[in-house]
Structure 1
Amino acid sequence: MDFAEEHLIPLVDEGLGNSAYLVDLGDGRALAVDASRDLRALHASAKRRGLTVAFAADTHLHADFLSGAIQLARDQGATVLASAAGRRAFPHTPLGDGDEVNLDGLTLRALSTPGHTHEHLAFLLLDGNRALGVFTGGSLLVDSAARTDLLGADRAEELARAQYRSLNRLATLPDETAVWPTHGSGSFCSAPSGAERTTTVRAQKRDNPLLAVRDEDTFVRELLDRLGSYPAYFDRLTERNRRGPAVGTAPSLGPLTVDQVVTLLGSGGYVIDVRPAADFAAGHIHGAISIPLRPQFGIWLGWLLPDDAPLAFVAGDDQDVDEIVWQAYKIGYERLAGRLDGGMPAWLAAGRAQRTTAFLSADRAPSGPYLDVRQQAEYRGGRVAGALHVELGKITDLVDDVPPGAVVACGHGERAMTAASILERAGRTGLTVLAGGPAHYAAAHGAELVRDVSA
């Protein structure tokens, strides 16, 4: 049994596309790497092994979630390990290139690997002189590398050149060294990458197309060309992580009366309906935003809604309200007013009106203007000819571009329902949400399906 199988516990956040890691140090203590504010899985894994987290390391100032390192320091006395260049405004052990931390039997060595962020560190885990693995954060990923534009477009090329040097530095580690990235498939911090979460230096030297590029200018061009849009909340969290997120328990989601929800809506708050898209379509509060509760819930909440307005939620009886709270809390949403007590049945019982939205399969959908709200890469990979394309993350700013009677579509219907709810809140009517994707619509309506050659 190798080290990773016996001592390394990956903690995958499917919604954010990230992995945190818990390392069993063998003496009842553990090292946590890139843990988010949602520590439920980490605590459960540590409890099963009887571990106390003694060290909490962050590879960089995260943009896609609030770090859980300070919480681990408060609750378990963990020593926080992070880059000195990050100028974090809370107690931590600042590390620079080559600095080492004695883990009593193992050693953690900091490697300066700027690119994804200016202060990025990778952490090489050593047993004596033998490299066991390297926590690469947002530098070397499985078949890719992380984006370099989070500090602004004006610094993207500079950091891409740094990323080139960082990846090639990591490629000089022994071939058998395990590579344990934070960002992976599904992460908006990542350029498109492979589905695997971990790899080895040998495999990346063989398979990573960015490591195959030996010319820095070509590397920069190829990396920057891969980048799509990213959630709006990313621009807020880096500084919050530098200052240090507040510690404590997540806010509870207490019950709200119908009248309280009405008051909240009228005073600038938002109602988020987390029920499945079909349930929202069948009847919802006018002005509510549909964001179905699934692993990606937090991403779309953070992309589409402000973090400084009170939020109320409508959920189904079988939905886990704790999941709503934690997905919101880990990306910095703390003004959670509560949930509608009794859900939509209580709303109707109080004599309040509900709205409906057409949610139709391709064979029943009209042949109106087709609005595709998927990401750019998805759109280029296969779209209905003549479709209007507006990414869901940009729909709020482009409401006036949507023609009347549009068929709103994504890949299945969840994101399209979110887009339609935003459009309807802004006064657009006569919309149909497609229960399906472009291939279904093209087949049902005899439309051409177009794919970019370079996609």
Structure 2
Amino acid sequence: MPSILPIDTPSLGDRSYLVHDGRVAFVVDPQRDIDRVLDLAAANGVRITHVLETHIHNDYVTGGYALAQHTGAAYHVNADDPVTFDRVPVSDGDVIIVSDSMTVTAIGTPGHTHTHLAYALTDTDRPIGVFSGGSLLYGSVGRPDLFGPAHTHDLVRHQYASAHRLASMLPGDAQVYPTHGFGSFCSATQSDTTASTIAQEKLVNPALTRDEQSFVDELLAGLDAWPAYYAHMAPANSAGPGDADLSAPQRADAEQLRKRLADGEWVVDLRNHVAFAAGHVAGTLNFGLDGGFATYLGWLIPWGTPLTLLAETPQQIAEAQRELVRIGIDRPAAHATGGPTDWSGGENLATYPRATFADLAEVRHHRPIVILDTRRNLEAAEARIDGAVHIPLHELLGRLHEVPDGEVWVYCAAGYRASIAAALLTRAGRHVVAVDDKFTRAADAGLPTVTGTAHVGQ
């Protein structure tokens, strides 16, 4: 029986797999930092002979090409994908013999992408699981709208058909091993499930329990924005990304940091939002490592902008670099460690206050303030504070001029996005209060909420 070892990337909501029989192994959808895969193979004493891609990924830079180069493994990519590197082309129905006990069959499963493949694993003629990539997920499917509205109508119906194809081809006890669905924006909906079978998905997955039109309508109604950096992932993956360079970037002193800020570069403080609000170098931004660091930094930063990282320790800089190479931000321009007094060069630190929704409920009765909701559209449509201006965080940088004059109280669902927005607004010279609280407490604090599509000023 083959061993199937998941390699989780929680920050992106993705999962890769190393599968071995004790001698040789294949890898499905590896992330860019392939040292994790190589270390796992070495720990199990196996040799990687095949690397399989289910699709040209939209949410991360693949490590597949680099892993195949390191190991000499055959790199299997759909024959219809327009890549610029040498690969072993694979198509629907192709059988890949990995070893005497491991055979993989490619199954065409378009929907998440036009050329998506799943891979069914057979152990001596017994199907034991399917690596479903972005097709059949736990209680969901991969989103079908990443190629734009001109393709969404066809892809969502392909996604429905692909789910039914997998369900009909595989036995009920076959395990399902998706790449997405653990918090990834590539998933149409989210689930807390960490393991499933074809039989279980037939009971709970809307793609297998709804009629086609109901499935299409429900799925499309639940889709919201995806990170802007996705636009850069497929071109990078089609070009065959090389090794990730995780060596430390050059060190910057206080004077160099001031110059980088003056030049309009991004200097990002990786500390948590509480520490940042209490004191930070003026002009720096806050994307804490304790939240969706890479997702939101990659979403907001103008692509190609030089980036300097600030952290308390070298280990935190290294962690941030690892997160960033996964989305194609390969080399920070510089870094500094220590604390804000080390980075400021003696200049006064910038601060802004934090508050709760109870504080907001009290203040709005005593003086005029601007309430800014930075959640995504579907979140705001479900419930938002009456009178709040709604600008999703990922649009804020280009819409700062739309925030009305005055003192701004900014909120999100739990505080992380509000801290990013607060830093952007503070850098723009605004008087900001960051609501560091869960939105679920807003109504209990006495703040009136409304539902429906939000517009600026509403």
Shorter chain as normaliser: what TM range? Answer: over 0.9
Cα deviation, 1:156-212, whole Å, max 9, x if unaligned, reads 111112112111111102111111011113110011132113311101111112212
Q: 1:34-433 alignment to 2 at 5 Å?
A: 34-105=29-100, 106-172=102-168, 173-215=170-212, 217-294=213-290, 296-317=292-313, 320-348=316-344, 350-365=345-360, 366-367=363-364, 368-403=369-404, 404-427=406-429, 429-433=430-434
Asked if 1:17 corresponds to 2:3, the answer is no
Q: Larger deviation: 262-271 or 246-255?
A: 246-255
Q: TM-score, normalised by structure 2?
A: 0.92
Identity across aligned pairs (percent)? 34
Cα deviation, 1:327-363, whole Å, max 9, x if unaligned, reads 1111000240121244312134x22232111112334
Alpha-carbon distance in structure 1 between the residues aligned to 2:283 and 2:303: 18
Alpha-carbon distance in structure 2 between the residues aligned to 1:328 and 1:168: 36
Cα deviation, 1:365-416, whole Å, max 9, x if unaligned, reads 4323322212334334443333322221111122122232121111221210
Alpha-carbon distance in structure 2 between the residues aligned to 1:438 and 1:164: 34
Aligned partner of 1:443 in structure 2 is 444
In structure 1, the residue corresponding to 2:418 is in which secondary structure?
A: helix
Q: Larger deviation: 85-94 or 334-343?
A: 334-343
Gaps of 5+ in 2: 454-458
Q: Between Structure 1 and Structure 2, how many residues are aligned?
A: 444
| Letter paired with 1:136 | S
Cα deviation, 1:239-293, whole Å, max 9, x if unaligned, reads 1101111325334233211111122222231101111101111111222111001
Q: Larger deviation: 160-169 or 369-378?
A: 369-378
Q: Larger deviation: 380-389 or 126-135?
A: 380-389
Cα deviation, 1:134-168, whole Å, max 9, x if unaligned, reads 00101011111111111112111111121121111
Alpha-carbon distance in structure 1 between the residues aligned to 2:412 and 2:314: 26
In structure 2, the residue corresponding to 1:331 is in which secondary structure?
A: coil
| Letter paired with 1:331 | I
Q: Larger deviation: 161-170 or 433-442?
A: 433-442
Change (3 A) 1:402 1:442: farther
Alpha-carbon distance in structure 2 between the residues aligned to 1:438 and 1:406: 17
Alpha-carbon distance in structure 2 between the residues aligned to 1:288 and 1:95: 47
Contact 2:110 2:159 in 1 (8 A): yes
| Letter paired with 1:141 | L
Alpha-carbon distance in structure 1 between the residues aligned to 2:244 and 2:206: 43
| Letter paired with 1:316 | E
Cα deviation, 1:424-448, whole Å, max 9, x if unaligned, reads 2233x1111011022334433x212
Alpha-carbon distance in structure 1 between the residues aligned to 2:192 and 2:266: 35
Alpha-carbon distance in structure 2 between the residues aligned to 1:90 and 1:197: 34
Contact 1:293 1:324 in 2 (8 A): yes
In structure 2, the residue corresponding to 1:45 is in which secondary structure?
A: helix
Q: Larger deviation: 143-152 or 71-80?
A: 71-80
Alpha-carbon distance in structure 2 between the residues aligned to 1:40 and 1:32: 13
Change (3 A) 1:43 1:377: farther
Deviation at 1:71, TM superposition (A): 1.5
Alpha-carbon distance in structure 1 between the residues aligned to 2:199 and 2:244: 42
What do you get for the CA RMSD once the two structures are aligned? Answer: 2.0
Alpha-carbon distance in structure 1 between the residues aligned to 2:431 and 2:16: 44
Q: Larger deviation: 432-441 or 105-114?
A: 432-441
Alpha-carbon distance in structure 1 between the residues aligned to 2:107 and 2:285: 44
Deviation at 1:319, TM superposition (A): 5.5
Deviation at 1:227, TM superposition (A): 0.9
Contact 1:256 1:338 in 2 (8 A): yes
Change (3 A) 1:192 1:57: same
Cα deviation, 1:299-345, whole Å, max 9, x if unaligned, reads 01110003312111111248621111011111000240121244312
Contact 2:374 2:421 in 1 (8 A): yes
Alpha-carbon distance in structure 2 between the residues aligned to 1:363 and 1:41: 45
| Letter paired with 1:205 | K
Alpha-carbon distance in structure 2 between the residues aligned to 1:50 and 1:312: 39
Alpha-carbon distance in structure 1 between the residues aligned to 2:338 and 2:434: 27
In structure 1, the residue corresponding to 2:66 is in which secondary structure?
A: helix
| Letter paired with 2:246 | A
Alpha-carbon distance in structure 2 between the residues aligned to 1:334 and 1:326: 9
In structure 1, the residue corresponding to 2:302 is in which secondary structure?
A: coil
| Letter paired with 1:189 | C
Cα deviation, 1:78-128, whole Å, max 9, x if unaligned, reads 211111111221121110110111111211111111111111100111123
| Letter paired with 2:198 | V
Q: TM-score, normalised by structure 1?
A: 0.92
| Letter paired with 1:51 | V
